[in-house]
Amino acid sequence: MQHEHISKQFDAELETVRSRVLQMGGLVEEQIVNAIEALINSKLDLADAVIAKDLQVNSMEVEIDEACAHIIARRQPTAGDLRMVMTVIKTITDLERIGDEAEKIARMSKLIYQTGRLSTPRFTEITLMSGIVLEMLRKSLDAFARLDIGTAVQVPRQDVLVDDAFSACMRHLITFMMEDPRTISTSLDVLFAAKAIERIGDHAKNMSEYVVYMVKGKDVRHTSLEEIERELE
Amino acid sequence: MQHEHISKQFDAELETVRSRVLQMGGLVEEQIVNAIEALINSKLDLADAVIAKDLQVNSMEVEIDEACAHIIARRQPTAGDLRMVMTVIKTITDLERIGDEAEKIARMSKLIYQTGRLSTPRFTEITLMSGIVLEMLRKSLDAFARLDIGTAVQVPRQDVLVDDAFSACMRHLITFMMEDPRTISTSLDVLFAAKAIERIGDHAKNMSEYVVYMVKGKDVRHTSLEEIERELE
């Protein structure tokens, strides 16, 4: 009975950590949505809000990290439980860095609209990329919540689309800059914002790979897409 | 006696993991040096070597990660030992990403020299930045090896210099592009290489902060430079 009681407490602690990760994921998702909105629709108040709220993302990372260290020290998890804790530790590092990228997008929005605003560049590819990376993040979090490998493996495939859209975005910006060199400075700010979105995709991909590790006990980082899919068939 | 024996084995395991981290750090340092050499002196063979060797960096990360999971499961570390293992897990994530940045620099070198080579941009700031980030990486590794907070806290201070050099680099590239729009495409490749170097500085800074956590048990991530230094006085 005593043992069962401890085990239930342990389960509750793990469950708390898991739900904190999902909360952190929700906050980070909101940060991306707001940063993109600030960028595309010149909402500078929203940009300021994103920059201010990054502190909250950072402190969630530290707090969840401490909870994990506490669980390892007190509960001495093994096998699946340990993989779960390791996954959380890795996942929150990527979530925190996604938060940093959202903050960068917000900062770039301010630069873009504060400096004169020559003809505004088109945001076609940026809108496309944002949609995909948000879906990737949601899928990674969903896969984490439901321990669902099927959802997790969709994410790396989508990352290829993001990289393609980024290349298209860069080609357009180059044309734009060559046609009117006065737009170079602003175009670079747009390019850095696009780069930040592309990196969010990379982080979401990392997170999806941790889920595979958590469920299968197999580390798929640095494995090719084809190998991962073959493995899961 | 039995207990002491187990403890000695445990110490040996921790020591092995620590020395693997330092080996991984040495490899990553070599990757940066070669990537920068490829970039500045148009050594394309070296660029190819860096790209090929990134696989080795990646597999070291996975291997050390597994060793850490093994230690947690079998040795159930607490307090300082646990902080050490957590530090290793975080540190190798940053080392692996520094390896990715070195690979990016190598890829950019190839693009820069393969596409026609209009007048080559000056690499003054890039040389400056590279020197600083290499020193930051060495200091972080050294601080990790000797558990030396005094060395660790020097690293964030140097990151400010890297950021300044990056801004100067960007300003020069913008002038260069405006003077001759035909250089825009190549200049952007140089800019991405500079950005990769700047990110290496960020990762080295992260690593130095983990050392403070390991030694003091205090998490200094997301704390201002002034606060960290006040704390240590």
Whole-angstrom distance, CA of residue B108 vs CA of residue B47: 9
Q: Report the pLDDT value the prediction gives residue A216, as an integer from 0 to 100.
A: 86
Give a yes or no: residue A80 inside a domain: yes
CA of A145, closest CA in chain B: separation in Å?
Answer: 22
Q: Report the pLDDT value the prediction gives residue A223, as an integer from 0 to 100.
A: 76
Of B137, B130, B129, the residue nearest B154 (C-alpha): B137
Give a yes or no: residue A2 inside a domain: no
Give a yes or no: residue A109 inside a domain: yes
Q: Any idea which of A118-132, B25-39, B82-96, B148-162 has the lowest mean pLDDT?
A: A118-132
Average pLDDT over residues B31-41: 96
Cβ(A32)–Cβ(A137) below 8 Å: yes
The answer, for B59 touching chain A at a CB cutoff of 8 Å, is yes
Whole-angstrom distance, CA of residue B135 vs CA of residue A50: 33
- Residues B222, A59: C-beta atoms closer than 8 Å: yes
Is residue B221 predicted with pLDDT exceeding 90? Answer: no
Q: How many CA atoms lie within 13 A of A189 on its CB side?
A: 20
CA of B131, closest CA in chain A: separation in Å?
Answer: 24
Q: Report the pLDDT value the prediction gives residue A1, as an integer from 0 to 100.
A: 44
Q: What is the pLDDT of residues B168-219, one digit of tens each?
A: 999 999 999 999 999 999 999 999 999 999 999 999 999 999 999 889 887 7
- Residues A178, B181: C-beta atoms closer than 8 Å: yes
Tokens 């890297």 locate to B162
Give a yes or no: residue B67 inside a domain: yes
The answer, for B172 touching chain A at a CB cutoff of 8 Å, is no
The answer, for A55 touching chain B at a CB cutoff of 8 Å, is yes
Residues of B in contact with A73 (CB under 8 A): 77-79, 82
Of A136, A89, A121, A141, the residue nearest A194 (C-alpha): A121
Q: Which amino acid is at A183?
A: T
Q: What is the pLDDT of residues B149-176, one digit of tens each?
A: 999 999 999 999 999 999 999 999 999 9
Give a yes or no: residue B141 inside a domain: yes
Which structural domain, as residue segments, surrounds residue B170? 8-231
Q: Report the pLDDT value the prediction gives residue B1, as an integer from 0 to 100.
A: 43
Average pLDDT over residues B52-56: 97
Give a yes or no: residue B90 inside a domain: yes
Q: Report the pLDDT value the prediction gives residue B117, as an integer from 0 to 100.
A: 59
Whole-angstrom distance, CA of residue B178 vs CA of residue B98: 32
Q: Which amino acid is at B25?
A: G
Residues of A in contact with B222 (CB under 8 A): 55, 58-59, 61-62
Helices (H) and strands (E) in chain A, counts: 8, 0
Residues of A in contact with B174 (CB under 8 A): 184-185, 188
Per the structure, how many domains does chain A have? 1
Tokens 């804790």 locate to A85
Q: What number is the ipTM of this complex?
A: 0.89
Give a yes or no: residue A204 inside a domain: yes
Instruction: Write the CATH number for A195.
Output: 1.20.58.220
Dig out the tokens for B58 from the structure: 């990646």
Give a yes or no: residue A1 inside a domain: no
Q: Which among A222, A224, A227 is the top mutation candidate for probing chain B, defined by the most B β-carbons within 10 Å of its own β-carbon? A: A222
Q: What is the pLDDT of residues B110-147, one digit of tens each?
A: 999 887 655 666 788 999 999 999 999 999 999 999 99
Q: Which residue of A has its CA nearest to B73?
A: A78
pLDDT in tens, chain A (233 residues): 445 566 888 899 999 999 999 999 999 999 999 999 999 999 999 999 999 999 999 999 999 999 999 999 998 898 889 999 999 999 999 999 999 999 999 999 999 988 765 566 678 899 999 999 999 999 999 999 999 999 999 999 999 999 999 999 999 999 999 999 999 999 999 999 999 999 999 999 999 999 998 898 877 777 776 777 776 66
Q: Report the pLDDT value the prediction gives residue A118, as an integer from 0 to 100.
A: 52
Which band of pLDDT confidence, cut at 50, 70 and 90, is reported for residue B83? very high
Is residue B3 predicted with pLDDT exceeding 60? Answer: no
* Residues contacting residue B233 through CB under 8 Å, at least 6 positions apart: none
CA of B210, closest CA in chain A: separation in Å?
Answer: 12
Whole-angstrom distance, CA of residue A194 vs CA of residue A160: 15
The answer, for B20 touching chain A at a CB cutoff of 8 Å, is no
Q: Report the pLDDT value the prediction gives residue A233, as an integer from 0 to 100.
A: 61
